[in-house]
Amino acid sequence: MVVTAHFITEDFVVHKRVVNFREVDTHKAEDTAREFLICINEWGMKNVMMMTVDNAKTNDAAINIIVKELPGIYENGKHFHIRCMAHIINLVVKMGLKHKVYHVKNLLDAVKYIRASPQQIKTFKQAMKDVAVESQRFLCGETPTRWNSTFELLRSAYDVKDTFLEYSHQDPMFHKTVGRVPSHSDFDMIKKMMEFLEKFKKKTEIVSCSTKPIFHTYARKILDIEQHLRKHETNPNFMFMVPDMKDKYDKYWGDYDTISDYVFFATLLDPQCKSKFMKVVFTQMLKAKNKDKKMSVDEIESKARAKVIDIECKLDKFFKTYLESQT
């Protein structure tokens, strides 16, 4: 287990430090919690505001143990756990990719075959030269636990799409093993798939690779993902994927009551968002939940306004608590 601390110094400079690596021999919540508490005690950390971990049940249980041991936790730790956005995006997309599109599966099988031996890799590289493809990238492999590796595989294969037919002429076992050579119709679908997945890839890169504080954009990003899914739920190419993706999305982000108040605090403090945008976020969430049309437009508007006021009051209370702790 690696523990990374994000903190602000007295001169309001944001820092990020890896503070420890802890060996955890089991997946038990008690062991994870114990090792984490030992780590922060060794560093003398007293004011831990929030914690982000992967969305595993044992981690949820570990956090429940941790909050009981930490003093001064906001609302008894109700909002202490900030769900990892990159991990949720990974879970959402994997739910869609479990539906193996025929064209995609055919390409995955082809790439897996080509990458299976040094000789096949060498032959494919020669085929790339023979057809004079512009891309110098070779075929990427797929990592089952990382959906974006599938995206990179599709993109790398698309860039050298003209090579597969040439390769099939040089390797007679290719057609027999894979079944059929990826064709232009396959790559037409691959292109559409990449365009659909591009949104998730960009979001993953932003939250995983950014060196600047981006927590204030969390609400905007989850709303953008929801709108992207809704846009494609009637698309014939993706309508079989989107329902499962939406179910996974709803599990973590479909209800504003399941999202930490800290997310909304940060949004309120963002000069580009504030209360007006928060009302938009809550309205969209309520509309997405209102599939059976039980709530009228006025009821949705009223609930959204009430939630904004609730968050504003909580932020005011939270700030006053902070001021009291400084005196």
The DSSP code sequence of 55-94 is: S-HHHHHHHHHHHHHSTT-GGGGTT-B---HHHHHHHHHH
pLDDT digits (tens, 9 = 90+) for 281-301: 999 989 888 777 788 889 999
> Are residue 25 and residue 114 in the same domain, yes or no?
no
245 φ, ψ (degrees, to nearest 5): -65, -40
Out of 163, 197, 231, a domain closes at 197
Q: Do residues 159 and 141 make contact, with C-beta atoms less than 8 angstroms apart?
A: no
> Are residue 108 and residue 69 in the same domain, yes or no?
no
> Are residue 73 and residue 177 in the same domain, yes or no?
no
> Are residue 139 and residue 227 in the same domain, yes or no?
no
Does residue 202 lie in a domain region?
Answer: no
The dihedral through the CA atoms of 226, 201, 252, 208 has a sign that is negative
Does residue 20 lie in a domain region?
Answer: yes
Among 39-48, 172-181, 208-217, 241-250, which range has the highest average pLDDT? Answer: 241-250
pLDDT digits (tens, 9 = 90+) for 123-140: 999 999 999 888 878 999
Q: What span, in angstroms and rounded, lies between the C-alpha atoms of 121 and 324? A: 65
Q: Do residues 1 and 33 make contact, with C-beta atoms less than 8 angstroms apart?
A: no
Q: Do residues 311 and 268 make contact, with C-beta atoms less than 8 angstroms apart?
A: yes
> Are residue 266 and residue 307 in the same domain, yes or no?
yes
> Are residue 187 and residue 218 in the same domain, yes or no?
no
Question: Over pLDDT 90: what percentage of the chain?
Answer: 45
- Tell whether the model's pLDDT for residue 61 goes beyond 70: yes
- Tell whether the model's pLDDT for residue 115 goes beyond 90: yes
**Greater model confidence, 22 or 229:** 229
Count of domains forming the chain = 3
Does residue 234 lie in a domain region?
Answer: yes
> Are residue 218 and residue 294 in the same domain, yes or no?
yes
**Greater model confidence, 327 or 211:** 211
pLDDT at position 265: 92
pLDDT digits (tens, 9 = 90+) for 254-267: 888 888 889 999 99
User: Residue 139 carries which DSSP code?
Assistant: P
- Tell whether the model's pLDDT for residue 310 goes beyond 80: yes
Least confident of 86-95, 269-278, 317-326: 317-326
Does residue 86 lie in a domain region?
Answer: no
Q: What span, in angstroms and rounded, lies between the C-alpha atoms of 158 and 135? A: 10
Across the range 182-211, mean pLDDT stands at: 89
- Tell whether the model's pLDDT for residue 308 goes beyond 90: yes
pTM of the model: 0.85
Does residue 119 lie in a domain region?
Answer: yes
> Are residue 226 and residue 303 in the same domain, yes or no?
yes
Does residue 275 lie in a domain region?
Answer: yes
Cβ neighbours of residue 167 under 8 Å, at least 6 residues apart? 114, 123, 124, 127, 174
Least confident of 84-98, 134-148, 187-201, 238-252: 134-148
Q: Do residues 36 and 62 make contact, with C-beta atoms less than 8 angstroms apart?
A: yes
> Are residue 119 and residue 154 in the same domain, yes or no?
yes
Strands 14-21 and 2-8, sheet pairing: antiparallel
> Are residue 117 and residue 44 in the same domain, yes or no?
no
Least confident of 7-11, 169-173, 219-223, 226-230: 7-11
> Are residue 46 and residue 121 in the same domain, yes or no?
no
Does residue 238 lie in a domain region?
Answer: yes
User: Which helix (DSSP H) or strand (DSSP E) does residue 172 occupy?
Assistant: helix 172-178
pLDDT at position 327: 67
Q: What span, in angstroms and rounded, lies between the C-alpha atoms of 21 and 16? A: 15
Domain hosting residue 30, numbered range: 2-77
